Amino acid sequence: MSTDALLDFVLTLDRLKAVERRTSPAGLERRENSAEHSWHGALCALLLERECAFPVDAKHAALLFLMHDVPEIECGDTFAYAAARADAAAAEALGLESLLATLPAQTGECLRALWQEFTAGETPEARYANALDRVMPLLHNISHGGKVWHEHGVTLAQVLARNAFVAEVLPAVWQRLLPRIERLFSGVADE
């Protein structure tokens, strides 16, 4: 019975590929989906570990990243600059419970704990994973000339406020990104 439930859940996870985000992958015009975002973020967790301002278990951070958007299967993605952002957390918590309901209790508890750790953002790994969650859309916006920001009327002040956290966790990365971001709002194309 538990193997069937696990296999059903594995197939359910495939639905994350249908959840569209606002940004487009570098070099592509189509929108990124949440499964791509999760995969890319998990790899970034492994690749950028040495850039983190504090010691971190990159493998655990990758697991957090892989789990953090799973509830979007039920409730969709919420744009980072949307006014309804606060409501998204409650919708994701309900969506997660719905998804985990059919799993063996121990498996469900493990996955729930990963999601809760990421969401709370208090452990070093969760802080690192949350910073990476912000870096990826920054890179996408930079690669597309700030297209999504400009289409949605997002200001430089909003981008800086939302992403100030990146400077604390990944200071060298932030130093490289900040001038590129500022150029997108000054009318100068990124190099």
**Residue pLDDT, tens place only, 78-120:** 777 676 666 788 889 899 999 999 999 999 999 999 999 999 9
Confidence of residue 60 (pLDDT cuts 50, 70, 90): very high
Average pLDDT, the chain: 90
> How large is the average pLDDT for residues 175-179?
97
Per-residue model confidence (pLDDT) at position 190: 40
- Cβ atoms of residues 188 and 145 within 8 Å: no
Q: What's the domain count of the chain?
A: 1
Instruction: Return the CATH number at 111.
Output: 1.10.3210.10
Per-residue model confidence (pLDDT) at position 17: 94
Q: What are the tokens at 29?
A: 């015009």
Q: Nearest Cα to 173, choosing from 128, 118, 122, 120? A: 128
Angle at 137 between CA 10 and CA 56, to 5 degrees: 70
Give the residue, 25 or 85, on which the prediction is more confident: 25
The answer as to whether 97 is a domain residue is yes
* Least confident range of 7-11, 19-23, 51-55, 132-136: 19-23
Q: What are the tokens at 26?
A: 């570098």
The answer as to whether 191 is a domain residue is no
Per-residue model confidence (pLDDT) at position 191: 41
The answer as to whether 115 is a domain residue is yes
Q: What φ, ψ does residue 64 adopt, rounded to 5°?
A: -60, -45
- Cβ atoms of residues 10 and 127 within 8 Å: no
The answer as to whether 70 is a domain residue is yes
Per-residue model confidence (pLDDT) at position 85: 64
C-alpha–C-alpha distance, residues 162 and 174, integer Å: 13
C-alpha–C-alpha distance, residues 38 and 60, integer Å: 14
**Domain interval for residue 157:** 2-186
- Count how many Cα atoms sit within 13 Å of the Cα of residue 63 in the half-sphere of its side chain: 12
The answer as to whether 159 is a domain residue is yes
The answer as to whether 88 is a domain residue is yes
C-alpha–C-alpha distance, residues 22 and 106, integer Å: 34
Whether this prediction's pTM lies above 0.85 is answered by yes
Q: Nearest Cα to 55, choosing from 147, 5, 133, 127? A: 127
Q: Nearest Cα to 61, choosing from 9, 135, 11? A: 135
Residue 69: pLDDT over 80? yes
The answer as to whether 78 is a domain residue is yes
The answer as to whether 150 is a domain residue is yes
